[in-house]
Amino acid sequence: MTERKGPFSVDDVYLGDALELMPAVPSGSIDLIVTDPPFAIDFKARRGNYNRAGERVLEGYREIDSSDYLSFTTQWLDEAFRILTASGSLYVFSGWSNLKDILIGLDAAGFTTINHLIWKYQFGVFTKKKYVTSHYHILFAAKNPKHYTFNKIDHYPEDVWEINREYWKGRVKTPTKLPVKLVQKILRYSSNEGDLVFDPFLGSGTVAVASTMLNRRYLGFEIVEEYLAFARERLAHINDTIPAR
């Protein structure tokens, strides 16, 4: 019998607005949240960054107005805190522009920030009058700072991770995509086999794909129908995806 969490089947992904769907997820039912929410930077999803062919990039990216970002962030983080188990934790990706809103939202929801990680990738978008941004912030927070999963898989686990972006030449793709290797590293540190991993902003489905590869269960929400179809296609052909490393 398929396991369910409220109206949702485990190991499935759903179309819809996370702010509308998350209240239906039962309290205390999620072990780990890993997510890359909209950044509120007026992102142009089909621009030719990194020499990408625009016609191969799926349209539909949903951005949040910067004036609404704190309210949006506070709302979904409140729900995230509620649905996590007592020992649950969360990883949130962020650019620097609205990082303060996520930090405020984490505190307001009741989270304790354990680490502020930096993901350093190989290059960023060319700039003329400022430094090139070639990193993302990853905020690692726990519901209970005295009781959360942390598997010390490295003897000296540093807070700066140098992991290259993934590019799929000649293939349709979403405009932003987390590397499988990066998500797998998070899962190895902060979850165990059989744990339920949730991504409320699923995008291309990397969190669900990485969870499947490492024998974790998953649940995901995505507001853009084309992105959800893309994620489902990846999950349906899991053996054709980038191999676990």
Domains and CATH numbers, the chain: 4-240 (3.40.50.150)
Model-level pTM greater than 0.85?
yes
Query: Do the beta carbons of residue 138 and residue 121 sit within 8 Å?
Result: no
55 vs 173: CA distance, rounded Å:
10
What's CA 133's distance to the chain center, in Å? 19
pLDDT digits (tens, 9 = 90+) for 4-62: 999 999 999 999 999 999 999 999 999 999 999 987 555 444 444 444 444 444 444 45
223 CB-near residues (< 8 Å, 6+ apart): 15, 16, 17, 18, 62, 201
With residue 140 as reference, give the H or E element that holds it.
strand 135-142
Which has the higher per-residue pLDDT, 177 or 89? 89
What is the residue-averaged pLDDT of the chain?
Answer: 87
pLDDT of 177 reads 78
